[in-house]
Structures are given as C-alpha cells and as structure tokens.
Amino acid sequence: MKTTEAMHFRRLMAAPMLRAGKSKEEVESLPLSRSFGIRDGNGIVFVSNLGEVTPSGFLPLSVGNVKDASLVSLYRDQPVMRALRDPDQFKGRCGACEYHDWCGGSRARAYAWTGDPLESDPLCPYVPKPGASLAR
C-alpha cells in the first residue's frame, strides 16, 4: 500500500512497533515501510495537460512547465520541490514531530490553509512530544 493523502497511517502503523521496542531501522526494514515518505513532491510529481508541473495533483503549486524546462530538472532542482523532500524544513507541529520523516503531514492541506506548503498540517490531531525524536 502506498499512501498519498493518508500520511497519518504511517505514524499509526509505526508507533506500536516502536513502543514494542523495535528501532527506527527495524521498522524501516519492514515491507510496510515502503509506503513511508511518499508525499507531495517526494516520489511523485504531477504534470497537467498544459505541461504545468506541481508536486502532486493535490498541491496546485506550479514549479514550472515541461515546455520550458526538463521535468527531471524541475523535480530535482526547483527550490519548492527540494524543500518538500526535506522534512527538517517543515514548520510548526510538523517540524517538531518525531514522525515527520515518515508522515510529514499533508503539504496540500498546509498550503490550502496557510499558503505555505511547509507549514503544519492543520487537520493533524497528533501533538508531538516535547523534545522527542526518533533516533536518526
């Protein structure tokens, strides 16, 4: 299963394994973890019928057009795309969350509510534990 707009699924699946004593590396080695980390601009990209490139079909933030630039260069080099692939750049609760590598929240919802795709997912009910982090 690959999730694109159900990021919390990853957190809900990983949390009990971590509580049971599995390390981050052990959880990441499981077949389930292949669904971790897929979100807007990270592993997917959307190209409209007019050639506009966005991080996903859910995130209508144009990063360029394939008529003017290579899709590969837009995906690899465009600043918004690079930022979306770096969870350490997430802000607010998503930036502080110990699961941001695996979940990351909805970048599309963050953008829709705040105009900034790196802001917190406004509908995530999870409250990060202060100072908590998964060993990286």
CA dihedral 101, 103, 109, 113 (to 10 degrees): -60
106-111, long-range: CB < 8 A, 24+ apart: 106/5, 106/7, 106/39, 106/40, 106/58, 107/39, 107/40, 107/41, 107/55, 107/56, 107/59, 108/5, 108/40, 108/56, 108/58, 108/59, 111/59, 111/61
pLDDT in the model for residue 80: 95
Give the pLDDT confidence of 74-116 residue by residue, as tens digits: 999 999 999 999 999 999 999 999 888 888 888 999 999 999 9
Annotated domain spans of the chain = 8-114
pTM: 0.81
